Structure 1
């Protein structure tokens, strides 16, 4: 049975399972392409594995849409500006304003600035919170580090790592907040302010306790410079929430939606690369073994038996110990140990085709062995090979996820298996962090279902009797 690609796609689209599989795989492929085009190539080692970049995000926070299903929790706010709102001589004022509406204050507060450049004296930075009642609370004050010996102007500070201060645990912020509230209402409890600093900053002291104060708040970063050309590249204020994003965050504050998206092209790469390479290797060896016969057949079959009985997991553990946990190592092992089964099946099919009238006629006309294999044997088993390739792709994805779950995956890449492994290692199951466990597992299942549906749609092509019965 000879079928070209157009016929295969037409037959595949004619079945419900084939259509669903193609549509689902198309959506996954488009999402993977978008990730490849928009995410930086070094997202894994430079962003995902860099804890400093996730310091302004809530830890182990559920998705933001969970507020629609239960009690409303504070949302995460990241306010950022790169240009001063006003300048008065040597004073540059950066403003960040937001409305606070609700009964729950932010879970944490942080202030950071980055990309500071000055030419003579170091700037002085002061962060002041202006409340709806008109009060001002000075939260933080610092002087940027001065010139180093031998350093020439302009002096640049905090280019790679921003200056970040956790205001909710800063003693100066506690003292300033307590002093302000004490001026408003005598009898303010210092311990209560220290324990509930975010509520103290966004509230007032009433009847022996802290209550929220709704309204518009404004954080001012007042930068006093020696030279009008001095500047601050970025000022950021974070009011931490209890929910975040579409998929929540992990224990380090990393956005799980970004990790899951980045893991999609990796999963498809693993599935398609392993399935393609192992199928090509197994098919080639099976064709040669079945048609050549003799010692060649014996050698290939004994090699297949040996490889098929090698314990892969202990070998992979040893290779990871020697070479380190790398994604290419998992791909190599999966390819090298996935071909024997297909080789044995292809050999048995070639043995029956070797004596067919078509092959005998080609041999009588003087066709070479390679031409007979390529043009008269392979086309008859091509539908089966293509179906096997599609069917083996989800097995490769599940194998990588399983190996990563055992701690053998590349820790610098957020694959779905790696995210699951980190969740289980951190105790996400026992702590009830379902958003850390369910999404990667469902994505693995969804991708496997896409390949499975395509495989089911290929059944009429592999089995001609089913095709004729449609």
Structure 2
């Protein structure tokens, strides 16, 4: 009975500390105007992407049954004009957020997962494992990410899944380096040595002691990589390496290039998706920088 009571009390104390840490993080984050601006932009973009099926029908996105004439300038009926198929640029831009954000998040989770696993493994085991993993990481760091992602996307079947894989397996190297550095710092602390002396195995140390301490860094890195992943998705789609039947910001720009909107000066076809990409990428970067400054005491003291 005493053991059960002690365990329950320990869990309550742990949850209380977590709630206090979360509340302290929210208070510090709310002090940053840039971070709050980025968060508002992301909430608006995410809300529009989720709610898009409620006010945009498949008929409005159809290339065959488009409601308007191709490449018409902004008007009362189409506030942002129409694209090369006659579809409303408002509908295309809002719906394109679904694919672009989905690819960005999935590719980021894949990249963060690979980078975290490689970084913790290399720093924990060291020796030949550290040498091999870091040389592979250096190889990915040296190669241009866009060129490697484009090469990978060109040899795999064309589609959204291919773009996710191409981005995910090419953007993890920076995360691996950062996680490795943080893991070396964590494992130099005395409680890691005490846990090992008490019989804790590699898996216990890596998952119970190292991973929780590197998660703040991983979380901040996640928001920074999402913006890079969205830009890469738009670039690969613009190069024709994504699924052309899926409406995204990148495929919208590719269609504008194909119909000659760039040379004809049809700015309304280029501006909405371009501004959407820039705004979302900037918002993620602002959120990432703010989270990094809040979670890193040294950066917070300088600010």
Query: Which TM-score applies when normalising by structure 1?
Result: 0.56
User: 1:344, CA displacement in angstroms?
Assistant: 2.1
CA gap 1:438/1:347 in 2 versus in 1, 3 angstroms: same
Matched with 1:29 is 46
Matched with 2:130 is 297
Matched with 1:251 is 84
Matched with 1:393 is 226
Note the 1:254-273 alignment, pairs <5 A: 254-273=87-106
CA gap 1:319/1:379 in 2 versus in 1, 3 angstroms: closer
User: 1:347, CA displacement in angstroms?
Assistant: 1.4
- CA offsets 1:125-163 (integer angstroms, 9 cap, x no match): xxxxxxxxxxxxxxxxxxxxxxxxxxxxxxxxxxxxxxx
Q: Distance in 2 between matches of 1:429 and 1:257?
A: 19
Q: Distance in 2 between matches of 1:251 and 1:341?
A: 39
Matched with 1:178 is none
CA gap 1:36/1:316 in 2 versus in 1, 3 angstroms: same
Bigger shift: residues 433-442 or 355-364: 355-364
User: 1:437, CA displacement in angstroms?
Assistant: 0.7
Establish whether residue 50 from structure 1 lines up as the match of residue 67 from structure 2.
Answer: no
Q: Which has more strand, going by share of residues?
A: 1
Q: Distance in 2 between matches of 1:468 and 1:18?
A: 17
Query: Which TM-score applies when normalising by structure 2?
Result: 0.84
Q: Distance in 1 between matches of 2:135 and 2:302?
A: 40
Matched with 2:31 is 14
Query: Is the Cα–Cα contact under 8 Å of residues 391 and 452 in structure 1 kept in the other structure?
Result: yes
Q: Distance in 1 between matches of 2:183 and 2:220?
A: 17
CA gap 1:12/1:259 in 2 versus in 1, 3 angstroms: same
- CA offsets 1:69-114 (integer angstroms, 9 cap, x no match): xxxxxxxxxxxxxxxxxxxxxxxxxxxxxxxxxxxxxxxxxxxxxx
Note the 1:404-423 alignment, pairs <5 A: 404-423=237-256
Matched with 1:381 is 214
User: 1:59, CA displacement in angstroms?
Assistant: 2.2
Count of equivalent residues = 285
User: In the alignment, which of 267, 273, 284 is matched to residue 434 of structure 1?
Assistant: 267
Q: Distance in 1 between matches of 2:125 and 2:47?
A: 43
Query: Is the Cα–Cα contact under 8 Å of residues 404 and 418 in structure 1 kept in the other structure?
Result: yes
Query: Is the Cα–Cα contact under 8 Å of residues 247 and 257 in structure 1 kept in the other structure?
Result: yes
User: 1:468, CA displacement in angstroms?
Assistant: 4.8
Superposition RMSD on alpha carbons, in Å?
2.5
Note the 1:67-466 alignment, pairs <5 A: 244-309=77-142, 323-466=156-299
Query: Is the Cα–Cα contact under 8 Å of residues 291 and 351 in structure 1 kept in the other structure?
Result: yes
Q: Distance in 1 between matches of 2:157 and 2:185?
A: 45
Q: SS of the counterpart of 2:213?
A: helix
Q: Which has the larger radius of gyration?
A: 1
Q: Distance in 1 between matches of 2:26 and 2:186?
A: 26
Query: Is the Cα–Cα contact under 8 Å of residues 110 and 168 in structure 2 kept in the other structure?
Result: yes
CA gap 1:321/1:448 in 2 versus in 1, 3 angstroms: closer
User: 1:454, CA displacement in angstroms?
Assistant: 0.8
For structure 1, the residue ranges without an aligned partner over 5 or more in a row are 66-243
User: 1:451, CA displacement in angstroms?
Assistant: 0.8
